[in-house]
Structure 1
Amino acid sequence: MAVPVPRQRETPATESAQAAQLPAAPHATPPQASLTLLVIEDDPAGGLTVPEILDADRHRIRLRTARNLTEAARLLTHDVHCILLDLSLSGTGSTSGGSRTAVVDQLDTLREVLRIAPHHAVLVLTAEADAERAAEAVRVGAQDFLFRDELDGRLLSRAIRYAVERKRADIAQYKLAESKLRAQENARLERGLLPNPLLEGSDLRFAARYRPGRSRALLGGDFYDTVRTPDGTVHAMIGDVCGHGPDEAALGVELRIAWRALTLAGLCGDDLLATLQEVLEVERPCEEIFATLCTVDISPDGRRAGLCLAGHPAPLISRPGRRAQLLPYENSGPALGLLPKARWPRRQVELGGTWSLMLYTDGLIEGRIGEGKERLGQDGMVEMINRHLAEGLSGEGLLEASVTEARRLNGGELTDDVAVVLLSRAEG
């Protein structure tokens, strides 16, 4: 049914489609400055007729007319901003008994339009008696509905503008919600990949701090873990994959899981690191990737430890009445992935009865001091830890204060990943 409003001029469907493809007249409004309306209606009496409609900038809104969904799909180019669908649109169907004309379910037609034009604003046109169906059309996905008997150029122009803006807002809201959902899923995934220390039955206290260098990430190339094997030995590890991207983070997770599995299987020291190097060589995305590693195995009585370093900074130990210091270590092995058939000697270290052992990655010591190029370094870190110990800090408080001060000295967020693990024992 044609819309009963004054006709600006007769425009057959084919001419309307052709006109949309013709170059603009010299004084015409540039295409990018005006809106385009695609009208879908199948009235055989001459098509939908509307008066001149203008957008908010007084530019004429261009019209295209389609008699069916097939023609609409062809005319639905990127420069169409809004679709006006006549809900009385009918179609032809067939049965096994022969062909017949059937009225297509109106809302099914709307659903098909929404399917082929998911990013376009859609208005529906219906009779005032079909108000309930019009409201249902909005629930299905149309931006608004219009009644034929009330339609005029001003109302249609305003409805098009509102529909286009509402659709843009809906798409923006959808993208925002999708982005938040993806971020939540990634956060849950990354949290699930962080280690859960296995220390049941041990008298050692555990604390850790982890800050990835990547913006808005929960996981970086640094990794750590701690487990207690059935013989009572506590094994701790901290490592650092070179680089800061998601590939390095994934490789760090693989190495941590491999370390836990190999440790629980009974491997230790050089045998363990040699096997981890094989894992690294197979899993790394390119041959330039390497990883540093520090492993510690603490005897069941808690008084001794075996230490292996693969290109990694030496741990720091503190004991009551003595200044914290780095564990002495010579002849450490290379980082994993640098040299084939490398060896990593294991050194025995006396811990004593009461002690705290801090393992860390170089992100903690490579932050700058102020605006110059000087870095905190291991000596600066030792001095910082000793100040905090003199203030009575320990455990979680000690790690938090240390990472916070390193960040403050750097003048902002540390660009490298930071992981710190603290194991402590108090002899009763």
Structure 2
Amino acid sequence: MPVPVPRQRPVPAAETAHGSAGPSMSSGAGSSGDLTLLVIEDDPAGTLSVPELLDAAGTRVRIRSARNLTEAERLLTDDVHCILVDLALPGPGGDELGPLNHVLRLAPRHAVLALTTSGDAERAAEAVRVGAQDHLFRDELDGRLLSRAIRYAVERKRADTVQVKLAESRLRAQENARLERGLLPTPLLEGSDLRFAARYRPGRSRALLGGDFYDTVRTPDGTVHAMIGDVCGHGPDEAALGVELRIAWRALTFAGLCGDELLSTLQQVLEHERESEEIFATLCTVDIAPDGRRAGLCLAGHPTPLVTRNGRAAQLLPYDDGGPALGLLPRARWPRRQVELGAAWSLMMYTDGLIEGRQGPGEKQRLGQDGMLEMINRQLAAGLEGEALLESAVAEVRQLNGGELTDDVAVLLLSRNGSGR
């Protein structure tokens, strides 16, 4: 039954030219809202024997016709918006939906309509189930119905494509989040009376992991080892290198290395794993004696920790003879300094992201260690400790900066209340 057509026009050269097959879902119709339909049918009379339809909304539908799938592949150019597949086309091995499945594989981003007779409603429904946007009955078809079906199919396919991309994006984000969470450390402090807290905030947007890294473990002799470090840069390569250094530090610590020997070995790891010789990392390590009253401290170009003892005001640990950052000098040395902690104390280790923010919105001057120390003492005076202290510190630094911090921030807090010793 030929389709009633309100308007016809000669087929322009662009409509008859065979373009290279490169099926892709067009971003939409042209500037005039026109659509292009590719019809695949083997009816010699041609169900759609006209080059163009014009619907009530003024949308023109240009029509291309192919007698078989081979010809359809030649006519399937980038400006095709929708494909109408005749389910009466012969399929390989008697597969009734073989031609439709072939088209769905050939043009996964195109809208597809299935054409059949009203007496074959079951196959029409099956066509929609396997991937067609809709079905049309040949004996009920007219120009208005076809034009509307094409528009709806194109919009439905576009919406489906968007939903698929959103779902894929969510899955990738979830996978990345699980991966990055798996790369964050789990402190190993079983048997220790020390309390542990940490906060981590990467500078990269939508990332869970940056170039900062930290870890804490207790070795069989009762010593608690903690470290915090910062790989220069903020990208995924720096994040990966930070994870490698953290894992190496844990392995070397359990192997019995400490102080200069440990840092020298870590520098070798850095030199072998970094992308370029310009990459370096700062590091701060502490090893707390089994009695919890003293610690060894090594600094490799890293900010010195701060400590509060017996509830008094926090202060920066004095350390003027630390070594250079890892990766700067091939034969560097990192002296270990003994620090007396006392019976009750809190030790806070941090990366420079905590001190390089601004002193206030619009200010040019950095917060610095002195500004951080003042802020921490104010929060301690307000009764904050542990997780609450770190959460408040990171939040206030961000607020002072007037917005998101551009650098990664890692803060680690170890505390001992002095009871039982």
Task: Give the TM-score category using the shorter length.
Answer: over 0.9
Of 370, 386, 400, the residue aligned with 2:391 is 400
Residue 65 of structure 1 is matched in structure 2 by 65
Deviation per CA, 1:171-205: give whole Å up to 9, x if none. 01100110011001000000000000000000100
Quote the Cα distance in structure 1 between the aligned partners of 2:56 and 2:299.
Answer: 70
Residue 277 of structure 1 is matched in structure 2 by 267
1:20 matched to 2:10? The reply is: no
1:427 matched to 2:411? The reply is: no
Residue 251 of structure 1 is matched in structure 2 by 241
Q: Structure 1 counterpart of 2:192, which letter?
A: S
Residue 5 of structure 1 is matched in structure 2 by 3
Deviation per CA, 1:61-98: give whole Å up to 9, x if none. 1111111111111111111000000000115x6xxxxx
Residue 143 of structure 2 is matched in structure 1 by 153
Deviation per CA, 1:280-320: give whole Å up to 9, x if none. 11111111111100000000011110100000000000012
Quote the Cα distance in structure 2 between the aligned partners of 1:55 and 1:284.
Answer: 63
Aligned residue for 2:54, secondary structure, equals coil
Q: Is the 8 A contact 1:225 1:238 kept in 2?
A: yes
Q: Is the 8 A contact 1:6 1:50 kept in 2?
A: no
Q: Structure 1 counterpart of 2:77, which letter?
A: T
Quote the Cα distance in structure 2 between the aligned partners of 1:361 and 1:171.
Answer: 43
Q: Is the 8 A contact 1:8 1:49 kept in 2?
A: no
Deviation per CA, 1:195-246: give whole Å up to 9, x if none. 0000000010000011111111111110000000000000000000111111
Gaps of 5+ in 2: 19-28
Q: Is the 8 A contact 1:222 1:252 kept in 2?
A: yes
Aligned CA distance change for structure 1 residues 322 and 186 (closer, same or farther; 3 Å): same
Quote the Cα distance in structure 2 between the aligned partners of 1:8 and 1:317.
Answer: 85
Quote the Cα distance in structure 2 between the aligned partners of 1:19 and 1:310.
Answer: 70
Aligned CA distance change for structure 1 residues 39 and 230 (closer, same or farther; 3 Å): same
Residue 98 of structure 2 is matched in structure 1 by 108
Q: Structure 2 counterpart of 1:314, which letter?
A: T
- The total of aligned residue pairs comes to 407
Aligned residue for 1:53, secondary structure, equals strand
Residue 403 of structure 2 is matched in structure 1 by 412
Residue 320 of structure 2 is matched in structure 1 by 330
- The alpha carbon displacement at 1:360 in A equals 0.3
> Normalized against structure 1, the TM-score is what?
0.91
- The alpha carbon displacement at 1:20 in A equals 3.0
Q: Is the 8 A contact 2:203 2:405 kept in 1?
A: yes
- Structure 1 segment 208-247 matched on structure 2, within 5 A: 208-247=198-237
Aligned residue for 1:61, secondary structure, equals strand
- The alpha carbon displacement at 1:161 in A equals 0.5
Residue 183 of structure 1 is matched in structure 2 by 173
Q: Structure 2 counterpart of 1:61, which letter?
A: V
- The alpha carbon displacement at 1:48 in A equals 3.7
- Structure 1 segment 115-134 matched on structure 2, within 5 A: 115-134=105-124
Q: Structure 1 counterpart of 2:348, which letter?
A: M
Q: Structure 2 counterpart of 1:73, which letter?
A: E
Quote the Cα distance in structure 2 between the aligned partners of 1:289 and 1:349.
Answer: 30
Quote the Cα distance in structure 2 between the aligned partners of 1:377 and 1:9.
Answer: 76
* Identical aligned residues as a percent: 78
Q: Is the 8 A contact 2:6 2:54 kept in 1?
A: no
Q: Is the 8 A contact 2:350 2:411 kept in 1?
A: yes
Quote the Cα distance in structure 1 between the aligned partners of 2:376 and 2:30.
Answer: 67
Could you tell which deviates more after superposition, 148-157 or 54-63?
54-63
Q: What's the RMSD between the two structures over aligned residues? A: 2.2
1:138 matched to 2:128? The reply is: yes
Aligned CA distance change for structure 1 residues 56 and 258 (closer, same or farther; 3 Å): farther
Q: Structure 1 counterpart of 2:402, which letter?
A: G
Quote the Cα distance in structure 2 between the aligned partners of 1:17 and 1:48.
Answer: 19
Quote the Cα distance in structure 2 between the aligned partners of 1:225 and 1:134.
Answer: 61
Residue 25 of structure 1 is matched in structure 2 by none
Q: Is the 8 A contact 1:35 1:55 kept in 2?
A: no
Could you tell which deviates more after superposition, 219-228 or 82-91?
82-91
Quote the Cα distance in structure 1 between the aligned partners of 2:7 and 2:313.
Answer: 94
> Normalized against structure 2, the TM-score is what?
0.92
